[in-house]
Amino acid sequence: MSVNLLDLFKDQVSGALVKNASKFLGESSDNTSSALGNILPSLLGKVIDQGESEDGAKGLMDLLGKTDDSMLDNIGDIFSKGSGSVNGLLNGGSGILSALLGNKVGGLVDMIASLSGMKSSSSSSLLKMAAPFLFGIIKRQVANKGISGLMSLLSGQKSAVKSALPAGVGSLLGLSSFGGDLVDKVTGKAGDVVDSGKKVVTGAADKVGDVGRGAVDAGKKVVGGATDAVGNVGRGAADAVGNVADVAGNAGGSIMKWLIPALLVLGGLSFFGIKTCSPIDSAADMVGDVASGAVETVGNVAEGATDAVADVAKGAADMAGAAFSNVNEAAKSALGSIKFAAGSAGSQMMDFIEGGFKGDGKVTFKNLNFATGSAAISGATAVEVDNLAQILKAYPDVKLSIGGYTDNTGNADANMTLSQSRADAVKARLISQGVAGARIMTKGYGAANPVASNDSAEGRAENRRIEAAVVK
- Asked if 23 and 94 sit in the same domain, the reply is yes
Residue 116 burial by CB count (10 A; 0-12/13-18/19+): exposed, middle or buried? Answer: buried
What pLDDT was estimated at residue 48? 94
Residue 198 lies in a domain: no
- Asked if 246 and 346 sit in the same domain, the reply is no
Edge to edge, the sheet with strand 362-364 lists 362-364, 466-470, 400-404, 440-444
- Asked if 36 and 160 sit in the same domain, the reply is yes
Which phi and psi (to 5°) does residue 322 adopt?
-60, -35
Cβ–Cβ < 8 Å for 146, 154: no
Q: Taking 70 as the threshold, does the pLDDT of residue 235 lie above it?
A: no
pLDDT bucket at 190, cuts 50 / 70 / 90: very low
Residue 464 lies in a domain: yes
pLDDT bucket at 286, cuts 50 / 70 / 90: low
Model confidence pLDDT, tens digit, residues 327-373: 999 999 999 999 999 999 999 999 999 998 888 899 999 999 998 88
Residue 69 lies in a domain: yes
Number of domains in the chain: 3
pLDDT bucket at 179, cuts 50 / 70 / 90: low
Q: CA 142 to CA 144: how far, in whole Å?
A: 6
pLDDT bucket at 314, cuts 50 / 70 / 90: low
Helix (H) or strand (E) holding 444: strand 440-444
- Asked if 232 and 101 sit in the same domain, the reply is no
Ramachandran assignment for 471, one of left (phi > 0), alpha (psi -120 to 50 degrees), beta (any other):
beta
Q: Taking 90 as the threshold, does the pLDDT of residue 440 lie above it?
A: yes
Which residue, of 130, 147, 174, is where some domain finishes?
174
In the chain, pLDDT over 90 holds for what percent of residues?
Answer: 47
What pLDDT was estimated at residue 243? 46
Q: Taking 50 as the threshold, does the pLDDT of residue 229 lie above it?
A: no
- Asked if 18 and 121 sit in the same domain, the reply is yes
What pLDDT was estimated at residue 284? 46
Q: Taking 50 as the threshold, does the pLDDT of residue 10 lie above it?
A: yes
Q: Which long-range contacts (CB under 8 A, 24 or more apart) does 288-296 make?
A: 290/233, 290/236, 290/237, 290/240, 291/237, 293/233, 293/236, 294/233, 294/237
Residue 42 lies in a domain: yes
Q: Taking 60 as the threshold, does the pLDDT of residue 136 lie above it?
A: yes
Q: Taking 70 as the threshold, does the pLDDT of residue 379 lie above it?
A: yes
Residue 199 lies in a domain: no
pLDDT bucket at 85, cuts 50 / 70 / 90: confident
* Sequence-separated (6 or more) residues with CB below 8 Å from residue 378: 369, 370, 371
Chain mean position to CA 218 = 28
- Asked if 32 and 164 sit in the same domain, the reply is yes
Cβ–Cβ < 8 Å for 153, 44: no
- Asked if 456 and 346 sit in the same domain, the reply is yes
Q: Taking 70 as the threshold, does the pLDDT of residue 274 lie above it?
A: no
Model confidence pLDDT, tens digit, residues 442-461: 999 999 999 999 999 999 99
Residue 341 lies in a domain: yes
Range in 16-25, 86-95, 216-225 with the lowest mean pLDDT: 216-225
- Looking at per-residue confidence, does 380 or 17 come out higher? 17
Within 13 Å and on the Cβ side, how many CA atoms surround 454?
12
C-alpha angle 282-284-287 in degrees, rounded to nearest 5: 110
Residue 309 lies in a domain: no
Cβ–Cβ < 8 Å for 465, 403: no
- Asked if 372 and 443 sit in the same domain, the reply is yes
- Looking at per-residue confidence, does 271 or 362 come out higher? 362
DSSP, res 82: -
Q: Which of 165, 178, 147, 154 is nearest to 5 (CA)?
A: 154
pLDDT bucket at 88, cuts 50 / 70 / 90: confident
In this prediction, residues 424-432 reach a mean pLDDT of 93
What pLDDT was estimated at residue 462? 94
What pLDDT was estimated at residue 42? 94
- Asked if 145 and 47 sit in the same domain, the reply is yes
Which residue, of 155, 174, 193, is where some domain finishes?
174
Cβ–Cβ < 8 Å for 283, 243: yes
Share the mean pLDDT of the chain: 78
pLDDT bucket at 292, cuts 50 / 70 / 90: low
- Asked if 45 and 150 sit in the same domain, the reply is yes
Say how many C-beta atoms besides its own lie within 10 A of residue 104's C-beta. 16
- Asked if 262 and 411 sit in the same domain, the reply is no
Which residue, of 298, 319, 341, is where some domain finishes?
298
Q: Which of 306, 309, 327, 467 is nearest to 385 (CA)?
A: 467
Which phi and psi (to 5°) does residue 398 adopt?
-80, 135
- Strands 400-404 and 466-470 turn out to be antiparallel
- Looking at per-residue confidence, does 348 or 297 come out higher? 348
Position 274: which residue type? I
- Asked if 219 and 162 sit in the same domain, the reply is no
Range in 11-15, 278-282, 328-332, 384-388 with the lowest mean pLDDT: 278-282
Residue 187 lies in a domain: no
What pLDDT was estimated at residue 81? 81
In this prediction, residues 92-102 reach a mean pLDDT of 91
CB burial string 202-223: b at 16+ within 10 A, e below: eeeeeeeeeeeeeeeeeeeeee
What pLDDT was estimated at residue 217? 52
Residue 80 burial by CB count (10 A; 0-12/13-18/19+): exposed, middle or buried? Answer: exposed
CATH number for position 466: 3.30.1330.60
Residue numbers of the domain that contains 446: 329-470
Distances (CA, A) of 57 to 44, 102, 314, 417: 13, 16, 61, 25
Q: CA 173 to CA 164: how far, in whole Å?
A: 15
